[in-house]
Structure 1
Amino acid sequence: MADRSVADAPAKAVGMGMMPGMAPVTATPVAGVLLDIDETLVDLEWAMHRALREATAPYASLSEAEWEAFCAVFTRGSDDIYDRYVAGEITFAEQRVLRAERCLAAVGTAFPDTAAAASWLAAYEKAQPGYVRAFDDVVPLLDELDAAGVVYGAVSNNVHDYQRAKLDHAGLARIRVLVGIDAVGVAKPDPAIFREGLRLLGTAAEHTVYVGDNPHHDVVGAAGAGLRGIWLNRAGREVPEDAAHAVAEQIASLRELPALIGLV
């Protein structure tokens, strides 16, 4: 691991770095990095959109604009349904079907019966893994962390085995430390799931950063567990009000992280 601190890292960050008006982050050497998976390491939205089109084509004939709207409802307009799965109210398969039904309703159609919904689910589950890929800034980051001797892993709001398969499909088998919601029975932003990541990494919270695309789940949650939370804001979004107190640093690409944490 590089032995320099992060004292002047914000000034060297290539992208957004610290939020305007925020105090500099305390200079603390970084020994470990924990990362979110979906939309941080893996371009899940791209994979979902393509699998959705493939699986849903037999049930809906849509224009390009309608397909875009359909996919947007599934990936960005169904958080309430996914939250029910995380809370244990419905199964993973059930939340997928419910989201698909919401998408179909949005374009004025529906599955003809439960057998069709089951067939759609099977087709979607078969198609999606083939589209899973890592963002192009992931491997360069992992290479730099390896070169610096900084250990790393992932903490996700999904179950371990499903996310393990996703990482492997994306060519990220080198990420061995992985914590899912089934490890400790809670999801982000609960501090317990981050602490399990720290335990597996073998690093202290004050020497570990957490990077993710969700400012509330990832940054607020990490801060609650004593980690340094960094928001990966690929789309240049505004900081949500409920996370503004915790989001002191943000980056537009994982390529910016080594400089921000003092590795280069």
Structure 2
Amino acid sequence: MTGVSGVLFDVDDTLVDTATAFGAGLADAFGTVTELAPEQHADVVQIWRADAGGHFRRYVAGEVDLLTQRRARVLEITTHLRLPELDDEAFATFETAYQAAFAASWALFEDAHACVAAAVDAGLAVGVVTNAPGEQQRAKIAAVGLADLLPTLVAVDTLGVGKPDARVFREGCRLIGTSPEATLYVGDELEVDARGAVGAGLKGVWLDRPGRRRGGPHAVTDADIDAAQADGVEVIASLAELPALWQGRAPASE
């Protein structure tokens, strides 16, 4: 990659270890309903991240609101655990516990701050494009100490739709003042993030952290990776490899 003047970042499971925060939130929330065995807790997190029913994708497409998609995903899990569906009162208690534990568990990956700081130090324009609500993501970015480095954010509620819609990537470019072809976008989902960015005219990078793939409809095969790379997607295993791309060098892992 050459001619990079800006970098746009995904947040969840790219900069912030959201999978671990999900685990903490779900553990506390389901603790209001039942006592989960360790293997059940692992299943709950896997089901939540896979979202086989596509409920979060419906939210990103503007078809349902955030709470509706979350309640549908909770129903998937209670059905899997053979528990009764939560009534309104039980779900409200669940939601309160989930939100508190989830927010308390937000933490950066070890490679995240250095990568964002390196981009800023290199004189690149930086920002965030995320499929979560803007208010939550701004709070998350502030909580992990990135607010000063990443003040510019495009969220799912900015335009009413999210990635991989090309408009949200291009809005991110507009806000940081770069052209799409001179902007690098990095995220942890191959289709939604990296291929979506390439489709919008950006330089797409898939962050494939070892052991962090989601499964379900997000499952990635070797053929998927080969096809994406043929279409221009770069693949890295750590954000420590990203500076080499904006400097026009191959990542060290290659």
TM range (shorter): 0.7 to 0.9
Within the alignment, does 1:129 sit opposite 2:103 as a pair? Answer: yes
**Could you tell me the percent identity over the aligned residues?**
38
Contact 1:231–1:250 (Cα < 8 Å) also in 2: yes
Within the alignment, does 1:117 sit opposite 2:117 as a pair? Answer: no
Contact 1:78–1:99 (Cα < 8 Å) also in 2: no
Displacement, 1:146? Answer: 2.0
Partner of 1:59: 33
Q: Which whole-Å deviations, capped at 9, do the CAs of 1:122-177 have from their partners, x for residues lacking one?
A: 21112211101111111110221122111211101122222111211222212111
Cα distance in 1 between the residues matched to 2:53 and 2:20: 17
Question: How many residues were matched structurally?
Answer: 238
Within the alignment, does 1:202 sit opposite 2:177 as a pair? Answer: yes
Contact 1:239–1:247 (Cα < 8 Å) also in 2: no
In the alignment, structure 1 segments of 5+ residues that lack a partner are 1-5, 7-27
Q: Which whole-Å deviations, capped at 9, do the CAs of 1:177-229 have from their partners, x for residues lacking one?
A: 10012222322111111111011110112211111111111122111221110
- Over 3 Å counting, the alpha-carbon distance change for 1:239 and 1:177 in structure 2 is farther
Displacement, 1:240? Answer: 5.9
Within the alignment, does 1:143 sit opposite 2:143 as a pair? Answer: no
Contact 1:33–1:150 (Cα < 8 Å) also in 2: yes
- Over 3 Å counting, the alpha-carbon distance change for 1:263 and 1:87 in structure 2 is closer
Cα distance in 2 between the residues matched to 1:58 and 1:126: 13
Cα distance in 2 between the residues matched to 1:77 and 1:248: 24
User: Secondary structure of the equivalent of 1:250?
Assistant: strand
- Over 3 Å counting, the alpha-carbon distance change for 1:207 and 1:165 in structure 2 is same
Selected match of 1:233 from 181, 185, 208: 208
Cα distance in 2 between the residues matched to 1:248 and 1:127: 35
Moved over 6 A (4+): none
- Which runs of structure 2 are paired with 1:4-43 in the superposition (5 Å)? 6=1, 28-43=2-17
Partner of 1:251: 236
Partner of 1:17: none
Contact 1:137–1:255 (Cα < 8 Å) also in 2: yes
Q: What letter corresponds to residue 207 of structure 2 in structure 1?
A: L
Partner of 2:196: 221
Within the alignment, does 1:77 sit opposite 2:51 as a pair? Answer: yes
TM-score, length-normalised on structure 1?
0.83
In the alignment, structure 2 segments of 5+ residues that lack a partner are 212-219, 250-254
Contact 2:194–2:233 (Cα < 8 Å) also in 1: no
- Over 3 Å counting, the alpha-carbon distance change for 1:239 and 1:184 in structure 2 is farther
TM-score, length-normalised on structure 2?
0.86
Cα distance in 1 between the residues matched to 2:167 and 2:158: 10
Cα distance in 1 between the residues matched to 2:180 and 2:94: 43
Contact 2:207–2:236 (Cα < 8 Å) also in 1: yes
Provide the alpha-carbon RMSD of the alignment: 2.0
